[in-house]
Amino acid sequence: MTRRTRLGAVGLASLALLPVGLFVGSVGLEPGEVVRVLTGGGSATHRDLVLGFRLPRLLLASILGGGLALAGATFQALLRNPLAEPYILGVSGGAAVGAVIVLALGLTTLASWTLPLAAFAGALLAIAVVFRVATAAGRALDVRVLLLAGVVTGAFFSAVISFILAVSDARTVRSAVLWMMGSTAGADWQTVAVAAAYTLPTALVLIGLARPLNTLAVGEETALYLGTDVERVKRIAFAAASLVTAAGVAVAGVIGFVGLVVPHALRLVVGSDLRILLPLCFLVGAAFLTTADTLARVLLSPTEIPIGVVTAFVGVPIFLVLLRRSTFR
């Protein structure tokens, strides 16, 4: 199978998986019924189901999945480590601290946006701390220090979360744990708009960095020799990928393995050229997370499984197979 054929097969499979969530659920819908609703017809019940529940949720999962996969591929290129993933730099820990503080103080009763806002603020704090540590020795952004700073910052935030949960009541602990498992159950058109506003423009920035990130993959000295502004590329890539991750965590909690499994799988299929890999990561990541979200809704219906649990159950065995294949082939 040629490379172009593989690319086409991956793209078509991803596009085919994207709309599945509109048809599948506790109430099954025929494709014709969904089409009628999307074109302005259908019954009032079906319109409420598709337009008020399933379509916003599908769009949110698509945006988040695409953003997380793209951020994962960017961090892997930036850190030159195929096992890097979006939460490795402490972003999820910072977001979780913000969310847990709001839950522990009972501030979620003030407005629906307090928890996402606090999570986003916590994620931005984590990004600022890691970036400040990574540039403490000079203006250059040392990716090795960046990685270590992220791990240490994440460990500190985990300790803060553990302390808050230890002194909180059972209701707060349950709410915090469920949030940290990730879910798109609260998706509405406002949430979709917020996620799209942060993710889509930033995704275009990351895709636009594909060529200079390709040169970084062969070494910073070589990239400088080829005319790449290495420090500028590293800073923009780190900031953009972190912002995408922070927006995703803020609106849906912590959803792991998307940014690890998708880029790694695609790299085995289409190669490491980021000009192809980055756009395809967004498409396949969207399909992966929408499929996981559909499974979260239907596997134990009417009980819903947190989407982070589904991505872990699916992602771990897939990643182990891919890792074994890439190591021993």
Tens digit of pLDDT at every position of the chain (329 positions): 666 777 777 777 777 777 887 887 777 777 778 878 887 777 777 788 888 888 899 999 999 999 999 999 998 888 887 777 888 788 888 888 888 888 888 776 665 678 888 888 888 888 888 888 877 766 667 777 888 888 888 889 989 989 988 888 888 888 888 888 888 887 888 889 988 998 999 999 999 999 998 888 777 777 777 777 888 888 898 888 888 888 888 888 888 889 888 998 888 888 888 899 999 999 999 999 999 998 888 888 778 888 988 988 888 887 787 777 655 44
The pLDDT value recorded for residue 137 is 60
- Angle formed by the axes of helices 91-105 and 143-166, nearest 10°: 20
Q: Residue 179 belongs to what H/E stretch?
A: helix 170-181
The pLDDT value recorded for residue 328 is 45
The pLDDT value recorded for residue 66 is 93
The beta-strand segments (E) located in 159-243 are none
Q: Find out whether 205 and 82 touch, Cβ atoms under 8 Å.
A: no
Q: Classify domain 3-328 at the CATH class level.
A: mainly alpha
Quick one: DSSP state of residue 28? -
Q: Could you read off the pLDDT of 186-240 as tens digits, one per residue?
A: 788 888 998 899 899 999 999 999 999 888 877 777 777 777 788 888 889 888 8
Residue whose C-alpha is closest to residue 90's, from 152, 40, 31: 152
Residue whose C-alpha is closest to residue 191's, from 98, 253, 121, 106: 253
The pLDDT value recorded for residue 126 is 87
Task: Tell me the two tokens of residue 105.
Answer: 């103080």
The pLDDT value recorded for residue 139 is 63
Q: Could you read off the pLDDT of 237-279 as tens digits, one per residue?
A: 888 888 888 888 888 888 888 988 899 888 888 888 889 999 9
Task: Tell me the two tokens of residue 120.
Answer: 């986003």
The pLDDT value recorded for residue 63 is 94
Query: For the whole model, what pTM was predicted?
Result: 0.88
- The H helix count followed by the E strand count for the chain is 16, 0
What DSSP string describes 273-319?
A: -HHHHHHHHHHHHHHHHHHHHHHHHHTTTTS---HHHHHHHHHHHHH
Task: Tell me the two tokens of residue 8.
Answer: 């086409």
| HEC-encoded secondary structure of 194-226 | HHHHHHHHHHHHHHHCHHHHHHHCCCHHHHHHC
Q: Find out whether 289 and 310 touch, Cβ atoms under 8 Å.
A: no
d(CA 23, CA 49): 10
**Burial annotation 165-188 (CB, 10 A radius, 16+ → b, else e):** beebeeebbebbeebbbbbbeebe
